[in-house]
A and B are shown apart, each in its own frame.
Chain A
C-alpha cells in the first residue's frame, strides 16, 4: 500500500516550547492530509485537514493558533504545537488518502514536561 512517513516518532519537550512534526507521502502526491490526536485508550480524533496551498480546516474545539499546520508541497505537511503544555502530551498521527483507502504515518508520541 501507499506509504506515509511521519517524523519524529517520539519527542520530549519543555513546557512553553514549540514542536514540529512532519508528515510525508513517499510514493504519491497528497493534496490533502489529515492530522489526528489519540489519547491513551481512546480512539483517533481528527484535529484538522491540511490542504496543499491553502489554509487548513480545523475541527471544532481545536485551537488553530496553537496547532499550526503548513502544507507547502504535495508531499509534505507539518504540524507545529506551539507553546506546548503538559496537557498537549498525546500521540499525534497524520494520514493521507491517495485513493479510496486511508493510510497513516507511524505516529509521534509527544511528551511535554
Chain B
C-alpha cells in the first residue's frame, strides 16, 4: 500500500464549477499537508499548506485536513481554464522529507 493515494484522473469540469481533489494517506506521523499545482514541464508551485487538522482558505482555494480519517481535500471554487494543471498532494512529518501523491490532472473546459 502506498503511503499517499491520489486518483490520477483526468478530471474534466466546465468553467465555473467547484472542483474537489482528494488524497488519503496511511502514515499517522504526517503533520504537514500541502497542495501543489504543476503545469507541464514546470516545477511544482505551492498552493496551500496546512498544519495538522482543520480548514484553510485562500481566495478560491480551500484546503481541508481530517486526520481522524487520514483524508485531505482541496476545493477550487469558480474554476477557470487557467486552473487546468496537475494537482499534487504532499505531506510530511515535522521537518522531514515530503511524500507526494501521484497527482490529479484537471482540465477546466471553457
Chain A residues engaging chain B, CB cutoff 8 angstroms: 1, 6, 34, 41-44, 46, 49, 91, 93, 95, 97, 100-107, 109
How many inter-chain contacts with C-beta < 8 Å in the A-B complex?
A: 51
Q: Are B88 and A46 in contact (CB under 8 A)?
A: no
What B residues does A6 contact at CB under 8 A?
Answer: 43
Given contacts A34-B98, A44-B88, A44-B100, contact A100 B32 (CB under 8 A): yes
Given contacts A102-B90, A104-B43, A106-B42, 12 further A-B contacts (CB under 8 A): A34-B97, A43-B100, A43-B103, A44-B88, A44-B100, A93-B43, A97-B95, A100-B51, A102-B46, A104-B44, A105-B43, A106-B43
A-B pairs with the 7 shortest C-beta distances?
A: A107-B43, A104-B43, A43-B102, A43-B100, A106-B43, A44-B100, A104-B44
Q: Which residues B30-66 have CB closer than 8 A to chain A?
A: 32, 34, 36, 41-46, 49, 51
Dominant SS at the B interface?
strand
B97 and A101 contact, CB distance less than 8 A? no
Distance in angstroms from A109 CB to nearest chain B CB is 6
A7 to chain B, nearest CB (A): 12
- A1 vs B58: C-alpha distance when bound (angstroms): 14
Interchain CB contact under 8 A, A102 and B41: no
Q: How long is the Cα–Cα vector from A97 to B46 in the complex, in angstroms?
A: 12
